[in-house]
Each structure stands twice: as C-alpha cells, then as structure tokens.
C-alpha cells in the first residue's frame, strides 16, 4: 500500500534513455500520476508545425508567442492501456508527437524561454499536491527543485539511437540508424547548451547509467530508491 506520505519523483536525462518507460512503470507500481514533460514540448512543436511557424531559418517565435496562451495541453488516461495520452487542444496527438519530424524540431522549441516558462507553470501546478512522477530535462533542477527523489538517467548515444530505431520500426516507421544517431547527438548538444534551463544533473540526483540494464532491472532500482526515500518496506 502507498497511501502514506506522498512525494514527487523527478526523472531527468538524455533523450531516448527510456525515462518515460521507467517513469510510467514506477508511477503505476506506486499509484502515482505520471507526467511526460517532454510530451508537452512536443505538443507545442506540433502546434507550431501545423500552423506553418517553421521555415528554413527556424521558428517564428513572435507568432508562437502570440499563440502560446491558446495552446492547451492535457493528459488523459487511456482506459485500455492505463497509460496517459497527450491531448493538444482537445485532440489526442500521442502518436504524432513521437514522429521524427517533431523530434527534429522539439529541442529548438524547448530552448525558447517563454515556452519553458509557460510549461513550467503548468508542470508545477500538476505537482502541487505531490504524488507525481515526472520525467524530462529540467524536472529536478527547475520544475521540482525540492523533489524528494531525483534520478538522472544516461546511456551511450549509440545505444539510445538503437532504442529509438527499434521503437519507431515497431510502429511501422522506416528510419535509418545513422539518421536517428545524428538526431540524438544534435538533441544532446542543444539540450545541454541552451540558455534556458539546460539539461544537467541536479546536485542531489542519483545517476543511473542504464546502457546495459533490462527494464526489469531499472524498475527494481527505482522501486528500491522510492522505498528508501519514503521509508516504506
């Protein structure tokens, strides 16, 4: 039973590290709410793409700033899978936001200050009452700096790229390993060097290199850390 003292769990790390799978499984195991913060940035990116805000020079930040208040992002649990799905202005966009087209543009959108500030407000509101597992790039450093449990996940770029390829192929999307690896490395660079909330390990975060860990091993590790922090046996 997990009805006693609730905490917030922040899981940060590089792209395609399996953060979302780890966070979803942990949330389900302990009865917490799972929030994929990256999905929120992907949803904003998809909105910008649909509204022709990108061109060869980048994104039209002025237009996006004018529209940011109109972008409503919510999560709703799919009764068949028990998983949260992302809704953009009332439309389920869970599959669309996972495309390579969105992946190629999301880091640029996530680096925009007013976008991050708007989404951080939403993320903090979700976690106000605790009992949340949230994954992303700046959860332990910016969104929930006082989170009781912080995990920083890493793995080699090659392993992360292969995981992404496997995921996309399973969905019927044909991609090349080299294309995905280049995207992974570019996103790493953009995430770590952006001015607004760059990707970094919080000083009190526990680092987890899951390059050669199974999903079961990762879940066992997370549950052990959760039990340690909450004092539950």
Instruction: Report yes or no on whether pTM surpasses 0.85.
Output: no
- Cα(3)–Cα(139) distance, integer angstroms: 24
Instruction: Give the pLDDT of residue 1.
Output: 45
- Residues 52, 57, 62, 67: is their CA dihedral positive or negative? positive
Q: Is 65 exposed, middle or buried (0-12, 13-18, 19+ CB in 10 A)?
A: middle
- Cα(133)–Cα(205) distance, integer angstroms: 14
- Cα(116)–Cα(228) distance, integer angstroms: 32
**Are the CB atoms for 124 and 143 separated by under 8 Å?**
yes
The average confidence (pLDDT) of the chain is 92
- Residues 82, 43, 193, 120: is their CA dihedral positive or negative? negative
Higher pLDDT, 198 or 82: 198
**Are the CB atoms for 71 and 47 separated by under 8 Å?**
yes
Instruction: Give the pLDDT of residue 4.
Output: 67
Q: How confident is the model at residue 233 (pLDDT cuts 50, 70, 90)?
A: very low
């Amino acid at each position: 039973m997990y009805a006693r003292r609730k905490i917030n769990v922040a899981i940060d790390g590089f792209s395609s590290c399996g953060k979302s799978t780890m966070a979803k499984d942990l949330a389900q195991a302990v009865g917490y709410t799972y929030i994929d913060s990256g999905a929120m940035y992907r949803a904003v990116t998809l909105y910008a793409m649909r509204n022709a805000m990108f061109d060869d020079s980048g994104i039209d930040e002025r237009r996006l700033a004018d529209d940011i208040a109109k972008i409503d992002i919510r999560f709703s649990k799919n009764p068949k899978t028990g998983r949260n799905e992302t809704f953009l202005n009332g439309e389920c966009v869970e599959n669309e936001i996972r495309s390579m087209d969105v992946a190629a543009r999301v880091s640029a959108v996530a680096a925009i200050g007013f976008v991050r500030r708007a989404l951080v407000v939403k993320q903090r509101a979700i976690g106000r009452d605790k009992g949340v597992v949230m994954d992303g790039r700046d959860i332990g450093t910016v969104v929930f700096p006082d989170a009781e449990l912080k995990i920083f996940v890493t793995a080699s770029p090659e392993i992360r790229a292969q995981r992404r390829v496997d995921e996309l192929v399973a969905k019927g999307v044909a991609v090349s390993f080299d294309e995905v690896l280049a995207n992974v490395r570019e996103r790493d660079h953009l995430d770590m060097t952006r001015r607004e909330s760059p990707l970094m390990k919080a000083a009190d975060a526990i680092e987890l290199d899951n390059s050669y860990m199974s999903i079961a091993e990762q879940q066992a590790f997370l549950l052990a850390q959760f039990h340690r922090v909450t004092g539950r046996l």
